[in-house]
């Protein structure tokens, strides 16, 4: 590795001696892309050459030298194409390639479009310009970048070597844009609420804590935007939504990342029933925008997001699997949870934990599971006559939870008492349960209309869209432990730029 880097440094120094500094380039005018060339010249016959000149730019992925002809694989943001450097056609370009260019370099080229006798569409290069020198060699194209740790820690290298990973990011972008466009079409207003909060809330989660030096107070990265969005409903907004980052200081696994993107939305004069229609519609819109269809394949199983989705109560979903928890006493429920190593301080924790363990992974087709235990739903309304159940649902697809929603609790007296219950539990498990938020209760005291709210995990939905079992694969830069011990080129080599 070091010898390869030394060779590249020597080449750069030769260029600098000639007065050529590739890092001084500020722009390069292109008139085409690899994809356009491949599309526009698809009918070119083997051995046929044109006088159609094209200028493109990209990264050199491989170099093959065969006497007086060299072949280069060039990659841009749209694909790859072969470049031909022929000594008899452009001696200057051929010499420049051999003496100064390496795999990984960023170049701009001009040349005529041709098809080789073997049928490979190519550009016969007449001019080449080095736009950025790569000091570090790329991994072998043949073996690729396989090491998972390297892929996540040096994600930029993963993007260079794996075009499918780049395409996944683009597809997820289309999904998010499709969801945003749907929400706007339904007259929801997109807003941005504080990420740095004096009191965190809106979810059961441990927060990241920091300190504001000027204000001289501790602050928290939000675990959810929920309470601020509902304050907007109190303030007279009818429909609001936000797509933004949330932070939870918890485990890192295939379904959890400490930093993640969530879509949350709130609608005045609406219930959790209305939220079901909104969830299935906005998710379907996002999936279709990303894939052109409401159907995807996830881990070998077809998942159809076409509306309407199936609905089932949590109790019925358990009974369908031969599990009857609702006839048990509280003590019996807690014992059942303990058998499965589920830590439960209350009945709702036990029921939800057993459901997650036994049922969740079986829910492949999109489904709404309703009637969650009210004791684990402190921000949701209870069902009249059945106070142990909340007007809440979670949406599942591909065996994972993708959304959570409920009829929002708007009674300030009851909300205060619910917060007090959470505070009591915090003494047993610090920070995971919700703290008292008196300002939010005060907002409710001014009156909030009946409201429906929802939250959709973008990374989990994205994993279904691009068929990845871990959300790390759909997050451009997932959280990794520690920092790598890196020695930069400037620490090892003395390079002077004029």
Q: What are the residue boundaries of the structural domains of the chain, listed by start? A: 1-138, 161-309+365-473
pTM of the model: 0.93
> Which one has a higher pLDDT value, 150 or 313?
313
Q: Residue 302 corresponds to which tokens in the numbers above?
A: 């077809």
Length of the chain: 498
Q: Residue 273 burial (CB < 10 Å; 0-12/13-18/19+)?
A: middle
Mean pLDDT of 409-438: 89
More confident residue, 8 or 251: 8
- Domains 1-138 and 161-309+365-473 agree in fold: no
Q: Is the pLDDT of residue 185 over 90?
A: yes
Q: Percentage of the chain with pLDDT > 90? A: 85
User: Which stretch of 67-71, 284-288, 478-482 has the lowest confidence by average pLDDT?
Assistant: 478-482
Closest CA relative to residue 202, chosen from 398, 466, 453: 453
First-to-last CA distance in the chain? 28
On average, the pLDDT of the chain sits at 94
Q: How does pLDDT run across 74-100, given as a tens digit for each residue? A: 999 999 999 999 999 999 999 999 999
Cα 376 to Cα 425: distance, rounded to the nearest angstrom: 11
Question: Rounded to an integer, what distance in angstroms lies between the CA atom of residue 152 and that of residue 476?
Answer: 9
* Domain 161-309+365-473: top CATH class: alpha beta
Q: What is the topology classification, in CATH, of domain 1-138?
A: OB fold (Dihydrolipoamide Acetyltransferase, E2P) (2.40.50)
Residue 1 has pLDDT above 80, yes or no: no
Q: How many CA atoms lie within 13 A of 437 on its CB side?
A: 22
Tell me, what's the pLDDT at 467?
A: 97
pLDDT digits (tens, 9 = 90+) for 267-312: 999 999 999 999 999 999 999 999 999 999 999 999 999 999 999 9
**Residue 430: its pLDDT value, please?**
62
């Amino acid at each position: 590795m070091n010898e390869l880097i030394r060779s590249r440094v020597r080449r750069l120094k030769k260029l600098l001696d000639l007065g050529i500094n590739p890092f001084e380039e500020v722009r390069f005018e292109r008139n085409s892309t690899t994809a356009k060339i491949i599309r526009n010249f698809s009918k070119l016959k083997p051995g046929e050459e044109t006088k159609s000149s094209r200028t493109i730019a990209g990264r050199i992925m491989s170099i093959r030298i065969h006497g007086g002809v060299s072949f280069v694989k060039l990659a841009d943001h749209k694909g790859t194409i072969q470049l031909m450097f022929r000594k008899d056609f452009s001696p200057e370009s051929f010499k420049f390639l051999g003496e100064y260019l390496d795999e990984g370099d960023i170049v701009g080229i001009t040349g005529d479009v041709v098809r080789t006798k073997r049928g490979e569409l190519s550009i016969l290069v007449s001019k080449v310009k080095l736009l950025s020198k790569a000091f570090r060699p790329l991994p072998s194209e043949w073996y690729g970048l396989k090491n998972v740790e390297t892929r996540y820690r040096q994600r930029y290298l993963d993007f260079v070597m794996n075009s499918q990973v780049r395409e996944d990011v683009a597809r997820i972008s289309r999904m998010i844009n499709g969801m945003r466009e749907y929400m706007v079409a339904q007259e929801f207003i997109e807003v941005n609420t504080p990420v740095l909060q004096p009191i965190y809330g809106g979810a059961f989660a441990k927060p990241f804590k920091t300190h504001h030096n000027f204000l001289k107070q501790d602050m928290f990265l939000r675990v959810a935007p929920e309470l601020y969005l509902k304050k907007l409903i109190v303030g007279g907004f009818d429909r609001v939504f936000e797509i933004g980052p949330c932070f939870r200081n918890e485990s890192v696994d295939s379904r959890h990342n400490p930093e993640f993107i969530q879509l949350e939305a709130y609608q005045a004069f609406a219930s959790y029933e209305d939220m079901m229609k909104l969830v299935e519609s906005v998710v379907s819109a996002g999936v279709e925008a990303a894939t052109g269809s409401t159907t995807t394949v996830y881990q070998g199983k077809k998942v159809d997001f076409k509306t309407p989705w199936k609905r089932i109560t949590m109790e019925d979903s358990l009974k369908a699997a031969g599990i009857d928890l609702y006839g048990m006493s509280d003590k019996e429920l807690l014992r059942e949870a303990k058998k499965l190593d589920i830590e439960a301080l209350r009945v709702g924790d036990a029921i939800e934990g057993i459901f997650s363990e036994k049922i969740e992974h079986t829910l492949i087709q999109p489904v709404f599971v309703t009637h969650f235990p009210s004791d684990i739903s402190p921000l949701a309304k209870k069902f009249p006559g059945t106070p142990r159940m909340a007007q809440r649902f979670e949406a599942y697809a591909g065996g994972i939870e993708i959304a959570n929603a409920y009829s929002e609790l708007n009674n300030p007296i009851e909300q205060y008492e619910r917060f007090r219950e959470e505070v009591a539990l915090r003494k047993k498990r610090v920070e995971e349960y919700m703290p008292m938020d008196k300002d939010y209760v005060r907002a409710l005291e001014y009156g909030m209309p009946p409201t429906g709210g929802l939250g959709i995990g973008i990374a989990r939905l994205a994993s279904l869209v691009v068929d990845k079992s871990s959300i790390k694969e759909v997050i451009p830069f997932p959280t990794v432990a520690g920092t790598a011990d890196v020695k930069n080129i400037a620490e090892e080599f003395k390079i002077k730029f004029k």
